[in-house]
Structure 1
């Protein structure tokens, strides 16, 4: 009686209401999913289905990828990775006008490859880069906007926690998602560098040139990060060429990070316990979110909402390109009021069938969705990265941060549109490597 799209819409409205009231996303997804299943299929079948989904999720082999990559990030963080990565970029680029802004983007890309979180990347690089840029006379708007935008690279540059979660929910290859994200991640960073270059051409007073580092200083800085960069390249390259699976790569990365921390004499009982504690806390939170999302996805599937939306969009006769533009606009609108993970978990079960009906790959949609999520991190009014940066630079108004990120937000929109126009930006590398 209640297995209809209208019930699904009521469930989504209730979920959004809970999220806006501040209920944790994992709890909100699981609660609405179970209550919805009780209404649609009955009390006992709903509990059985929720239990089966939970057990099947927790026993999936690829789920081990997530805590191991988080442990790798925590160990690198303890080894001063963020400061070293920014320092090497600053030594090579800092003498150019806007050089420290370029260095911030490069530092965010490097730390994003270690950390996989936009908020953590923005906060960590911000604490290192913002004081240095402001000390050297950089505009507050440029400094904060650069780091806020650069922080979003943490979600795209593999290994990415968002891509792992999407792979689990959509039942897609995590290794293929990582490989597909390489070119979009690099082009995103290049777009940010182009924005800085254009700003320097129009307003050179925003960022004065700094002193040039000597080559000996540059090589010393590079040697401090060589071990980390080699490990990251080996892990991501190993996944791309099929040397090992994502779970095996995560184990190699965690073991390598442990060895690097020991080599740098940063390994001790306190540091190790802190890394384990943060890993368990973060992994537990994400696992709760994933389980809740999968239960909610079952509810949406049972109501037939995804099929109804797909039929409605197809019935408009827009064509593949226009359909994808509509999907992009919808994601951007939702991303302005929902946090990134909520956006992914809410829209994946509904929009994935719509996108695949246009002939696009689920892998492409995963990259596209994460890219839209990233824009949400710097899109007012929510824009979590903007508030994180404002928290680091407390004397800079949030309006000033909004102004600084605006040119980067414009480049994000262009980049997102290019992913629609040229799907090969996503799909070429996995196809070339035979994945």
Structure 2
């Protein structure tokens, strides 16, 4: 077994044992892994691997975005903006049992078709529905599980960076068209949505959740007149998406090289939380300020929200970088070359492997490291190239719900103030395993694609 695969197994085992068996703070395990894993590359490389991983984590935009969304959530909790939005959403969807859960799923699906990012997807949809979910009867762990799981729809629906990456695979290019893969992945996203409806229905029945709106509720028009201005918060998500995708950036990029560089410098993960924070302050900044006696009080109350998640994300992202640098992709190729398995078992092994790798790595990093060889192996055992490509993308989208290093997971926990290890098993049982099964059914042709 090569150093990359060995490091991955040790990393997962250390995280699970530390959190589940020892019941210690998971940040400690993540920090310890950053010290241990570089030595899998040898004593001569350990220091450079560690320093490179630290530099990578400090420059990784997901780390900034996750902390920015935690800060945004903190501001929302101390403002009237969220209250106004919840009044609107409650009136629109409150007559449904599980209304906020269906709203979160719908928002996540729509955002998935725009942004293609799991972490901003979970953050945006979760910011509007986290408190609403808990107010309607969802336990905070259940709410965090749904928000993180729905975050995966960012990569589960096209377009996404993962889709364009797969289109460049040697066994995909020239065989599968861009339009064909786009439409097929959209259909697969709908399969994922149907499964989420099953999960929501289960929780609604288990918690005996009732509609939040009674027959004598205020008319919709009255509610919008009172609270409609708070919907401007959505512009914090709409504007960055419009400026980074679609005809607007294409138009400005065509004007000149300077404009092209400027549009290329816009980062969705950076500007989405920044703009939403600015809108919150514009809408209700004075009221937010009144919640604190001064800057010292503000910082004291903010630090507990940021410190744990910030430290955990930093060490986990750094450890993930070490695993990639140790040659995880080469180790996987070598391992599979030594196996002689049936097509069904081979497909199962490949999909499970991708789901495991998606735990510490992002969906894009997962497909970058083991995607090419995985698709080649699936096609080699008789899987249709389009079905194989979609199956890989579906499994990679579990990154949004895969412990221990999912950005969406930590954003969801930040929004609901949930201890991350408490939702590890629910996420695995309700999202990682079922979605991997969906991918297997797609690869086998049992779930049809257009």
TM-score range, shorter chain: 0.5 to 0.7
From 34, 40, 43, the equivalent of 1:36 is 40
Structure 1 residues 418 and 93: CA distance shift in structure 2, 3 A: farther
- Give the aligned partner of residue 19 of structure 1: 15
Structure 1 residues 410 and 71: CA distance shift in structure 2, 3 A: closer
- Give the aligned partner of residue 327 of structure 1: 350
- Give the aligned partner of residue 47 of structure 1: 47
1:305 and 2:331 matched:
yes
1:295 Cα offset (Å): 2.0
- Give the aligned partner of residue 245 of structure 2: 240
From 312, 315, 318, the equivalent of 2:343 is 318
- Give the aligned partner of residue 401 of structure 2: 374
1:96 Cα offset (Å): 3.4
- Give the aligned partner of residue 224 of structure 2: 219
Contact 2:7 2:40 (C-alpha < 8 Å) held by counterparts = yes
1:287 Cα offset (Å): 3.7
- Structure-1-length-normalised TM-score: 0.59
Deviation per CA, 1:260-290: give whole Å up to 9, x if none: 1222222647498577996687556434322
- Give the aligned partner of residue 276 of structure 2: 257
Contact 1:356 1:362 (C-alpha < 8 Å) held by counterparts = yes
Structure 1 residues 230 and 126: CA distance shift in structure 2, 3 A: closer
Cα distance in 1 for residues equivalent to 2:142 and 2:191: 16
Structure 1 residues 52 and 384: CA distance shift in structure 2, 3 A: closer
Structure 1 residues 208 and 294: CA distance shift in structure 2, 3 A: closer
Deviation per CA, 1:367-406: give whole Å up to 9, x if none: 52242662769xxxxx9999999998xxxxx9xx97xx98
Contact 1:65 1:250 (C-alpha < 8 Å) held by counterparts = yes
Contact 2:65 2:270 (C-alpha < 8 Å) held by counterparts = yes
Deviation per CA, 1:3-29: give whole Å up to 9, x if none: xx3665654554344323426454344
Structure 1 residues 88 and 38: CA distance shift in structure 2, 3 A: same
Where 2:284 maps in the other structure, the secondary structure is coil
Contact 1:76 1:261 (C-alpha < 8 Å) held by counterparts = no
Mean alpha-carbon deviation: is it higher for 79-88 or for 27-36?
A: 79-88
1:38 Cα offset (Å): 1.5
- Give the aligned partner of residue 292 of structure 1: 319
Contact 1:25 1:289 (C-alpha < 8 Å) held by counterparts = no
Cα distance in 1 for residues equivalent to 2:444 and 2:391: 12
Cα distance in 2 for residues equivalent to 1:74 and 1:36: 36
Structure 1 residues 19 and 92: CA distance shift in structure 2, 3 A: same
1:75 and 2:72 matched:
yes
Contact 1:133 1:143 (C-alpha < 8 Å) held by counterparts = no
Structure 1 residues 182 and 98: CA distance shift in structure 2, 3 A: same
Cα distance in 1 for residues equivalent to 2:7 and 2:264: 37
Deviation per CA, 1:343-388: give whole Å up to 9, x if none: 98997787445424346799974652242662769xxxxx999999
- Give the aligned partner of residue 380 of structure 1: none
Q: Which of the pair has the greater relative contact order for Cα pairs under 8 Å at 6+ separation?
A: 2
> Residues 41-120 of structure 1 correspond to what in structure 2 (within 5 A)?
43=44, 45-52=45-52, 54-55=54-55, 57=56, 63-64=60-61, 66-68=63-65, 70-72=67-69, 74-75=71-72, 77-80=74-77, 85-99=85-99, 101-103=101-103, 105=105, 116=120
Where 1:35 maps in the other structure, the secondary structure is helix
Q: Extract unaligned runs of 5+ from structure 1.
A: 135-141, 378-382, 393-397, 429-435
Cα distance in 2 for residues equivalent to 1:279 and 1:92: 33
Aligned length: 377
Q: Extract unaligned runs of 5+ from structure 2.
A: 19-25, 169-177, 250-262, 380-384
Deviation per CA, 1:28-62: give whole Å up to 9, x if none: 443333211126xxx2x44345445655x3686xx
Cα distance in 2 for residues equivalent to 1:235 and 1:265: 21
Mean alpha-carbon deviation: is it higher for 280-289 or for 260-269?
A: 280-289
Where 1:152 maps in the other structure, the secondary structure is helix
Cα distance in 1 for residues equivalent to 2:72 and 2:235: 16
Contact 2:363 2:399 (C-alpha < 8 Å) held by counterparts = no
Where 1:95 maps in the other structure, the secondary structure is coil
> RMSD value over aligned CA atoms?
6.0
Mean alpha-carbon deviation: is it higher for 222-231 or for 113-122?
A: 113-122
- Give the aligned partner of residue 432 of structure 1: none
- Give the aligned partner of residue 257 of structure 2: none
Mean alpha-carbon deviation: is it higher for 117-126 or for 350-359?
A: 117-126
Structure 1 residues 340 and 82: CA distance shift in structure 2, 3 A: farther
> Residues 257-276 of structure 1 correspond to what in structure 2 (within 5 A)?
257-266=276-285, 268=289, 270=295
Cα distance in 1 for residues equivalent to 2:39 and 2:273: 39
Structure 1 residues 104 and 307: CA distance shift in structure 2, 3 A: closer
Structure 1 residues 228 and 305: CA distance shift in structure 2, 3 A: same
From 133, 146, 162, the equivalent of 1:150 is 146
Cα distance in 1 for residues equivalent to 2:58 and 2:448: 34
1:308 Cα offset (Å): 0.9
